[in-house]
Amino acid sequence: MKTLLKTCIAALVSLGAVAGAHAQDKEITLCWAAWDPANALVELSKGFTEETGVKMNFEFVPWTNFADRMLNELNSGGQLCDLMIGDSQWIGGGATYGHYVKLNDFFAAEGISMDDFLPAAVYAYSTWPKGSENYYALPAMGDALGWVYRKDWFEKPELQEAFQAEYGRPLAPPKDWNELLDLAKFFQGREIDGQTRYGAAIYTERGSEGITMGVTAALYAWGFEYETEPGTYKMEGAVNSPEAVEALEFYKTLYECCTPPGHSDAYMVANLDAFKSGTVAMQMNWFAFFPGIYKDETVGGDKVGFFVNPPMKVPGSTLGGQGISVVSYSPNQDEALAYIKWFAQPEVQQKWWDLGGYAVHKSVVEDPGFPDSQPFAGQFLEAMSSVKDFWQEPIYAELLQAMQKRVHDYVVADQGTAQEALDKLIEDWTVSFEDDGKL
pLDDT digits (tens, 9 = 90+) for 93-108: 999 999 999 999 999 9
Q: Please report whether residue 15 resides in a domain.
A: no
Confidence of residue 24 (pLDDT cuts 50, 70, 90): low
Q: Judge if 373 and 241 occupy the same domain.
A: no
Q: Are residues 312 and 381 in the same domain?
A: no
How many whole angstroms from its chain centre is CA 431?
28
- SS3 readout for the chain: CHHHHHHHHHHHHHHHHHHHHHHHHCEEEEEEECCHHHHHHHHHHHHHHHHHCCEEEEEEECHHHHHHHHHHHHHCCCCCCCEEEEEHHHHHHHHHCCCECCCHHHHHHHCCCHHHECHHHHHHHCECCCCCCCECCEEEEEEEEEEEEEHHHHCCHHHHHHHHHHHCCCCCCCCCHHHHHHHHHHHCCCEECCEECEEEECCCCCCCCHHHHHHHHHHHHCCCCCCCCCCCCCCCCCCCCHHHHHHHHHHHHHHHHHCCCCCCCCCHHHHHHHHHCCCEEEEEEEHHHHHHHHHCCCCCHHHEEEEECCCCCCCCEEEEEEEEEEECCCCCHHHHHHHHHHHCCHHHHHHHHHHCCCCCEHHHHCCCCHHHCCCCHHHHHHHHCCEECCCCCCCHHHHHHHHHHHHHHHHCCCCCCHHHHHHHHHHHHHHHHHHCCCC
The answer to whether residue 17 is domain-embedded is no
Beta pairing class for 195-196 and 83-87? unpaired
401 and 275 within one domain:
yes
- Average pLDDT of the segment spanning 232-238: 97
Determine the pLDDT at residue 16.
Answer: 40
- Say whether both 294 and 189 belong to one domain: yes
Q: What's 103's domain CATH number?
A: 3.40.190.10
Which of 7-11, 109-113, 239-243, 362-366 is the least confident region? 7-11
% pLDDT > 90, the chain: 94
What is the rounded average pLDDT of the residues 413-424?
A: 98
Are residues 26 and 48 in contact, defined by beta-carbon separation less than 8 angstroms? Answer: no
pLDDT digits (tens, 9 = 90+) for 341-376: 999 999 999 999 999 999 999 999 999 999 999 999
- What's the number of domains the chain is made of? 2
pLDDT interval class at 33 (50, 70, 90): very high
Q: Is residue 13 part of a domain?
A: no
Model confidence band, residue 64 (pLDDT cutoffs 50, 70, 90): confident
Same-domain pairing of 64 and 170: no
Q: Are residues 45 and 148 in the same domain?
A: no
Q: Please report whether residue 59 resides in a domain.
A: yes
Any domain includes 12:
no
pLDDT beyond 60 at 14: no
What percent of the chain is predicted at pLDDT more than 70? 95
Domain span at residue 98?
A: 26-143+321-388
Q: Is residue 18 in some structural domain?
A: no
Whether residue 89 lies inside any domain: the answer is yes
Residues 249 and 262 in one domain: yes
**Shared-domain flag, residues 312 and 328:** no
The reply to whether 366 and 270 lie within a common domain is no
Work out the average pLDDT over 69-73.
96
313 shares a domain with 362: no
- State which amino acid sits at residue 237: G
Q: What is the mean pLDDT of residues 386-399?
A: 96
Distance CA 18, CA 22 (A): 6
pLDDT given for residue 116 in this prediction: 98
Statement to judge: residues 364 and 266 lie in one domain: no
In a domain, 167, yes or no: yes
The answer, yes or no, to whether residue 261 has pLDDT greater than 60, is yes
Whether residues 229 and 281 share a domain: the answer is: yes
Q: List all residues 6 or more positions away from 111 whose beta carbon is below 8 Å from its beta carbon.
A: none
Q: Which of 406, 397, 413, 409 is nearest to 428 (CA)?
A: 406
